[in-house]
């Protein structure tokens, strides 16, 4: 339907053609006023991402050591529990329980049953013969030699000290020869190691 124009007709105030806005009010231009706008600019986002990347690079190496320490603590507590359980089994069942430790092998044996340690964890065994003057473990194992920790039915043991190592972390387990009690230490300087002697 064609539109006709007459001078007496009102302007197209109420007529709307599909897709065109009504003309009953004047269009406003968007001004470049100083009104605050919300959001971030691309530059601000890039700066934040670069800062997060720098922080991640600086912090990541420290987290690796923390993870090794957490694994070492968990593994040493598990071995502590195993030793205490084996002592209890020796007492309750009235039999001798033997644990064997072999150098350069990430495992130990309990009465011929092999128990594998976690990846990266090593155990150094020392019989109850004292410590070295520099606070070390004393005599090291001969290559290929087996060393045995024995729990007896009366609750005593052959006595030993175990050094657990993962990465740079160290923890120590002391098995008292007289009582068979098993203790866990974070440091070799504990006074308990000065008394580590065989019967």
Could you state, in order of their start, the residue ranges of all structural domains in the chain? 68-135+145-195
Cβ-count burial of 94 within 10 angstroms (0-12 exposed, 13-18 middle, 19+ buried)? exposed
- pLDDT, residue 64, reads 61
DSSP β-bridge partners for residue 101: 108, 147
- Segment 62-84 shows an average pLDDT of 84
- Segment 29-36 shows an average pLDDT of 61
- pLDDT, residue 132, reads 40
pLDDT at residue 13 is higher than 70: no
Please report, rounded to a whole number, the percentage of residues in the chain having pLDDT higher than 70. 63
Q: Does domain 68-135+145-195 bear CATH number 2.40.50.140? A: no
Cβ-count burial of 138 within 10 angstroms (0-12 exposed, 13-18 middle, 19+ buried)? middle
Band (pLDDT 50/70/90 cuts) for residue 15 is low
Tell me which H or E stretch contains 116: strand 113-116
- pLDDT, residue 189, reads 59
What pTM did the predictor assign? 0.59
């Amino acid at each position: 339907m064609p539109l006709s124009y007459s001078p007496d007709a009102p302007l197209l105030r109420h007529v709307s053609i599909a897709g065109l806005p009504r003309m009953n009010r004047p269009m406003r231009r968007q001004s470049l006023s100083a009104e605050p706008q919300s959001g971030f600019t691309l530059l601000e986002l890039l700066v934040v991402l670069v800062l997060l990347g720098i922080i991640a690079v600086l912090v990541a190496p420290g987290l690796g050591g923390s993870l090794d320490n957490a694994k070492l603590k968990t593994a040493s507590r598990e071995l502590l529990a195993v030793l205490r359980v084996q002592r209890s089994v020796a007492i309750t069942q009235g039999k001798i329980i033997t644990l064997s430790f072999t150098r350069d092998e990430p495992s130990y044996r309990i009465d011929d049953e092999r128990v594998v340690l976690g990846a990266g964890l090593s155990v150094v065994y020392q019989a109850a013969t004292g410590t070295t003057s520099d606070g070390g473990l004393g005599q090291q194992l001969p290559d290929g030699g087996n060393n045995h920790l024995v729990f007896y039915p009366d609750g005593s043991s052959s006595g030993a000290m175990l050094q657990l190592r993962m990465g740079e972390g160290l923890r120590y387990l002391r098995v008292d020869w007289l009582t068979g009690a098993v203790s866990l230490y974070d440091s070799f300087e504990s006074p308990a190691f000065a008394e580590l002697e065989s019967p």
